Structure 1
Amino acid sequence: MIKIMTYFLAAFSSLFFLAQVAVAQHTSDPQQMLTEKQRAIILISSFTAKGDLPKLKQALNTGLDAGLTVNESKEVLVHLYAYCGFPRSIQGLNTLMALLNERKAKGINDNMGREATPIPDNTSKYELGWKNLAKLGGRPTDGPIEKPTSGYGAFSPEMDTFLKEHLFADIFSRDVLSFSDRELTTVSALISLGGVEPMLSSHLSLAMIQGISKVQLEEVLALVEKLVSKTDADAARKVLLAVTSRK
């Protein structure tokens, strides 16, 4: 069993390297390429969404080796519960805990990293969530805060409240990850979930507003194609083409 697992991990690492080479061959400007930590976030998010725990374990291991702190790795998995649900997120956290114990037994002392800054007690979470969403979309944050009068937010006001007060206030305010890393996490998960093209389209646009370039998003898709699912990557390419054609 140990030999089998060793072979599996070595094979995965080789695939990861080959994927990087393939991506590099399609990227004209190396300065625009994603970092090792960002690539790890993409694979952690993708395999969490798929529920592929053996590959998730290796992606987490690669991320820690690439410099992700324990709290950054944990934060990616916590963030994902908003998009993949508690079952996938909790399985991911359990996988990370088991991996950390294995690494500790090998004498590896992983960097815990910084904790999230708490939200002040007197904060209006709806207002904070509205402002965070405005920042994500590159809009001013000093305008009047209005609740939706159409769409799902008007049809289900409680959902609008949950999104503003919890997702965009409680979660996006946790400054362990940047907004760009959170969008990279979200986009990767949505690509791997499939069938959520309208939301993927919105988050691809938000990712670009947060500074993730078209070239880098193409690199995300190349990495997903090589290591996760060509079908998912091909479907997402159509969405990215539609998004970039509008810009």
Structure 2
Amino acid sequence: MKTRLAASAFALLASGAVAQDLETTIPSSVGAVAPALQNHLNEDIFDGVWNDEALSMRDRALVTFAALMTRHEVNNIESHVALALDAGVTPAEISETITHLAFYTGMGNAIAAAEATAPVFEARGITADDLPPVDPELLPLNEEAEAAREETVQSNYANVSPGVVDTTREILFLDLWLRPDLEPRDRSLVTVAALIAAGQPEQMTFHLNRAMDNGLTQEEAGAMLSHLAFYAGWPRVFSAMPVAKEVFESRAE
């Protein structure tokens, strides 16, 4: 038996499938050990942040998946993959998120996430034919933005590690970021979510600016921070808040 969501949460959620998925992310033992925590889950998370229209349920599912993968919460990934699919994230987008975040959270996290995702794909009949090809036709490159990024990295780090500079250019920004089955906005969204969940706010300035250049609004970015407080913890979100504040203020000038 799983914990029961508040009735009002069911009424507000996008579909019965998503409501059921949220319910099954929490084992019944939580209520037996920490009833106050179960109440917070029902009222503050399921009936609260997941219903906040400042960020779509589909985006919340993607952000949550990115945070769980980053934090290596393998036991929670399977149920949240099912939730993400029912919230509108496509199998191709989940596949691309795992591949993308391998380079931002580590290959071990990506392999573990793939292993946890596989049973859900199998149960739903999702095969390789539903997933992105290895070598798709890439999106057009923003040559001006890439030139500026490359100049910054070259000037700062070419004498430190030419290998990092070269692979960052060739693998990440001339390939990974141009793969078409995860929109640039969504690549930025999961990257920023991963940086917050990993406690790496010093890397956020570039990526949050890139996210907003790619279409993420300030309201959505703020809602992402609020959402991640519950999944990555308040200290990591408050470490990220000054960076977000600086980005927002600089873009308003």
**What is the TM-score when the length of structure 1 is the normalising length?**
0.75
Matches within 5 A, 1:116-195: 116=133, 118=135, 132=141, 134=142, 139=144, 149-194=154-199
Q: Does 1:47 align with 2:52?
A: no
Structure 2 equivalent of residue 236 of structure 1: 240
8 Å CA contact 1:116–1:175 kept in 2: the answer is: no
In 2: Cα distance, 1:214 partner to 1:16 partner: 27
Alignment-mate amino acid for residue 164 of structure 1 = R
Q: Does 1:210 align with 2:214?
A: yes
Q: Does 1:10 align with 2:27?
A: no
Flag the structure with more relative contact order, 1 or 2, with Cα contacts below 8 A and sequence separation at least 6. Answer: 1
Post-superposition CA distance 1:154-195 (Å, at most 9, x none): 43222111011101122112211011110001001000001x
8 Å CA contact 1:64–1:110 kept in 2: the answer is: no
What do you get for the CA RMSD once the two structures are aligned? 3.3
Matches within 5 A, 1:42-121: 42-101=63-122, 104=123, 108-110=124-126, 113=130, 115-116=132-133, 118=135
**235-244 vs 181-190, which moves further:** 235-244
8 Å CA contact 2:204–2:243 kept in 1: the answer is: yes
In 2: Cα distance, 1:22 partner to 1:246 partner: 30
Shift of residue 117, structure 1, vs aligned partner: 7.7
Shift of residue 200, structure 1, vs aligned partner: 1.3
Give the count of matched residue pairs: 219
Alignment-mate amino acid for residue 60 of structure 1 = V
In 2: Cα distance, 1:210 partner to 1:199 partner: 17
Post-superposition CA distance 1:45-82 (Å, at most 9, x none): 10111011122222211101112222211111111110
Alignment-mate amino acid for residue 118 of structure 1 = D
Question: What residue ranges of structure 1 are gaps of 5+ in the alignment?
Answer: 121-127
Shift of residue 38, structure 1, vs aligned partner: 1.4
Question: What residue ranges of structure 2 are gaps of 5+ in the alignment?
Answer: 5-21, 27-37
SS at match of 1:42: helix
In 2: Cα distance, 1:115 partner to 1:246 partner: 37
Shift of residue 199, structure 1, vs aligned partner: 1.2
Identity %: 22
**What is the TM-score when the length of structure 2 is the normalising length?**
0.74
